Structure 1
Amino acid sequence: MSGFSPPQLFSTTTKPTLTSANAISDSGEESSWVSVADLMAALMMVFLCISVAMMRSVMVEREKIRTIAMSYKENQLAIYESLTEEFGHDLPRWGAFIDRETLTIAFNQSDTMFETGKAQLSTAYQDVFTEFFPRYMKVLSPYTDSIEALRIEGHTNSQWGTSDNVGDSYFNNLRLSQERARSVLKFVYSLSAMDNHHQWMMHNIAAVGYSSSRLILNDDGSENSEQSKRVAFRVITNSETKIHSILEESF
């Protein structure tokens, strides 16, 4: 039996075991996850930068709007104080008042200004507006860069003769209020003191009739029929236009 070697049942050649294959696979997957994590981190940084930039832009635009709002408030107060200083002593004899919030000077004695249902300005109020309007334009002249428009507004109460039809009363008063506003504008435009202001007036002053849509109310909420009939001169500043411009530029 010497020299006999038993057959080898198992090969001694080393082959990759299952553990080794798993290790290689795990290493590849780990490498892939690292790459994905790096990509996600980079994307997060990009989104963060975009968010910061957008927040900064919003803050800048908000600051612009705040600055305009503050400027508007200061300008509004300056115009109101200038009008009050110029006309404070005259308003009672004219039957007029100044609204601080809307920068409106309203003349309430409509029955003295016009005949019932008519739009022809009375002689008495031709004298009033001959005195008032040139001074009004002079007071506003330092603020023209911040004025978007001036409106001469016609207002009525809700009544119209003996008509019980609300719609008929509204439209009849609408026509009347428009005609009265135009009548006042035409008169002040014709004043010799306004000869050098015609171009500005044509570009910036409008006559508007509101019928009974903006009634003056008593403390109990009822309609004040006499004060609702009025002609008003209103200053409209350009702050709203500037804010709209900023918002349009932001989008």
Structure 2
Amino acid sequence: MFGHPRDSEGQEDHWIPLSDLMTGLMMVFLLVAASYMTDMEIANYKIRKIAVRYSEVHDALYRDLAREFRNDLPRWGAELHRDLSIRFREPDVLFTTGSDALNPRFKAILDNFFPRYIAILDSKKYRHSITEIRIEGHTSSFWNKGTPPNSDAAYFNNMALSQARTRSTLLYVMELPAVSGERPWLKRVLTANGLSSSRLIYRSDGREDPVRSQRVEFRVKTDAASRIARIIEVAK
């Protein structure tokens, strides 16, 4: 009968350290959570900062390209898009049907266009933000009368043709004397990409536009995506 108070005191003696332990664990949890939130906030801040920087570089580069080529693009049969691609959209000017040899008119355009284009991209303002300059070759889904459009044969034949055309274009512009000083940098960033009919252009009624689908595009990629990926990886 008289042992119960002693037992209660013993239980209280055990509960006090246990409550302290729970409090300590809760504090550790809160510190870990706070640290995690701080890391995530820092990562989000860095991502937002890169996004703002990318937008600034993107918009400035678009303005500089538009200013440089605004009088030339119409007579070249070309157009500048907001994604920073410059599209040469008149297939008869570019190549002979079924050939990867550059037409004289296209060579003359590249003689004028490419050195001025690279002078902008390789300037101190943009050079360190650019990871790739893509020469893209695109075709329609047609090959010849004996090959059904959108067939595997048409796709693979057009793939070989578009790849050959972009290689011919890359070889020609790399050999231009006006860009000889930028050649080491161009070897790191300039690529040739034949895409066959994978990115067709369509008319307003939803049908393929076979003429406009045949084109050569110069496209710029920046380091924004790779920087964001590195931040996310570190924050994991």
TM-score strictly above 0.5: yes
| 5+ residue gaps, structure 2 | none
Aligned-residue CA RMSD in angstroms? 1.0
1:126: which partner in 2? Answer: 107
Query: So what's the TM-score if we normalise by structure 1?
Result: 0.90
1:105: which partner in 2? Answer: 86
What per-residue deviation string (whole Å, max 9, x for no partner) do you get for residues 86-114 of structure 1?
0111111111111112x100101112211
Secondary structure at the aligned position of 1:199 is classed as helix
Distance of 2:91 and 2:185 partners within structure 1: 28
Secondary structure at the aligned position of 1:234 is classed as strand
Q: Aligned match of 1:87 in 66, 69, 79?
A: 69
What does residue range 1-251 of structure 1 map to in structure 2 within 5 Å?
A: 18=1, 20-101=2-83, 103-142=84-123, 143-162=126-145, 163-164=147-148, 166-251=151-236
Distance of 1:193 and 1:56 partners within structure 2: 51
Distance of 2:140 and 2:148 partners within structure 1: 14
Secondary structure at the aligned position of 1:125 is classed as helix
Distance of 1:221 and 1:59 partners within structure 2: 45
CA shift at 1:125, angstroms?
Answer: 0.9
Query: So what's the TM-score if we normalise by structure 2?
Result: 0.96
1:10: which partner in 2? Answer: none
Secondary structure at the aligned position of 2:171 is classed as helix
Distance of 1:48 and 1:24 partners within structure 2: 37
CA shift at 1:178, angstroms?
Answer: 0.5
Secondary structure at the aligned position of 2:122 is classed as helix
Q: Which amino acid aligns with 1:73?
A: S
Distance of 2:91 and 2:161 partners within structure 1: 12
What per-residue deviation string (whole Å, max 9, x for no partner) do you get for residues 12-46 of structure 1?
xxxxxx0x201111111111112111100110001
Q: State the aligned residue count.
A: 232
Distance of 1:179 and 1:25 partners within structure 2: 91
| 5+ residue gaps, structure 1 | 1-17
Secondary structure at the aligned position of 1:219 is classed as coil
- Write out the 4+ residue segments of structure 1 that deviate beyond 4 Å after TM superposition: none
CA shift at 1:247, angstroms?
Answer: 1.6
